[in-house]
Copies of this chain bind each other. A is one copy, B any other.
Amino acid sequence: MRIKEGNKETDILLAAIKVFAETGYHNSKMSKVAEVAGVSTGSLYVYYKNKEQILLKIFEDVWKKLHDGLLILVERNDLNPIEKFDSMIDMIFDAFTESQAVAIVIANEQHHLQFGNPEGFTEYFEKFLKLGERIVEEGMKTEVFNPNVDVKIFRHFYLGGFRELITNWAVNNEDFKLSKLRQNIKFFAKNGILNIKR
């Protein structure tokens, strides 16, 4: 019997992330996940009810981590809204650049999962978005952010932009330098493309 140093539940999750990122969820075989995890196919089902539950767990972990981080950020009194906004972007940035594979899986499967499985999809995603909105709304109150902007539209827009960018980085990571990416994203979000002289 094979003895792994690690924890099987985690091994399986990491293997699934890798395999799903490489082949896409629907084209990934459970047998491949088992092989990469170094366990039998049966063991997959000891830890996860089925294939979809593994995918849902990947999302749960990511969005919970981001949610928890953002929750702390939101409640800090020592930062002004712009600083919070920048920190938020850093946080998301770090979360997705930490693992390219996770970034790819999130980018590829979020829609399928979110809209095809509304009940099962992690609550943390929506909560995370709400926290992001709060930061923006705080900034609107102090008028550092434009109060005429629709927050919901803004959040979708920037999250989508973010996601696209990170995925492209994850797939073709030689194309972008991360530091430049991070800097550009912050700049776009705040200033747009117009060349305003200030």
Contact = CB atoms under 8 A, between A and B. Distances in A.
Given A112-B108, A145-B194, A192-B189, A164 B154 contact: no
B153 A195 contact: no
B171 A164 contact: no
Contacts of A180: 150, 153
Given A107-B111, A156-B164, A184 B149 contact: yes
Interface in A144-198: 144-147, 149-150, 152-154, 156-165, 167-168, 171, 175-176, 180-181, 184-185, 187-196, 198
A181 to B, nearest CB: 6
Interface string A82-113: 00010000000000000000000001100110
A198 B152 CA distance: 25
A26 interface: yes
Interface residues of A, number: 53
Contact of A192 (B24, B163, B188): B188
The 9 A-B pairs of least Cβ separation, nearest first, read A160-B164, A192-B192, A161-B161, A157-B161, A26-B26, A191-B192, A146-B195, A160-B161, A188-B192
